[in-house]
Amino acid sequence: MIDQRLQTLLLKNKQKFMIPASLVATVNQSNSLDHAFLVLTKDRYAKIIVVDNENHYCGQISLAMITDQLLETQRINVERLNELIVADVMQTDAPVIKDPTNIEENLHLLIDQSFLPVVDDENYFCGIVTRREVLKAVNYTVHTFGK
């Protein structure tokens, strides 16, 4: 359990914790791997959110997941980029959260994740909490706590 005084400082700028879905790069689960590859490469993201047509969270996809599908025994088969869709390759077991201000849960999960998708009760994609934003709050807290 986090000390109440620390939690108060950590949550001082809680409105900045979640980056809204409208500002987050996503791909649709029915997009080709070619499209996802272009989005990831052009925007220089390591991993992005996958949604359905109604903007429900479906999973995540990374360049590593895509390139793994292209590798054959003795060559790279780039034709597979148009043969497969995002749903064939995406990760579906990454943790999601409902409360972007639950600092204790977020800290635990962000140890192994660079961002956490935020969903509502109907699994609608609301945004992401990034390790960077939470670390900013931690940095502020450790430098302000004694004052």
Q: How many domains does the chain have?
A: 1
**What pLDDT is attached to residue 53?**
97
Low-confidence ranges of the chain (pLDDT < 70): none
Full residue range of the structural domain in which residue 91 is found: 4-144
CATH of the domain at 22: 3.10.580.10
**What pLDDT is attached to residue 57?**
98
**Angle at CA of residue 72, ends 91 and 81, nearest 5°:** 55
**What pLDDT is attached to residue 125?**
98
**What pLDDT is attached to residue 7?**
75
Q: Give the separation between CA 97 and CA 4, rounded to whole angstroms.
A: 22
**What pLDDT is attached to residue 142?**
82
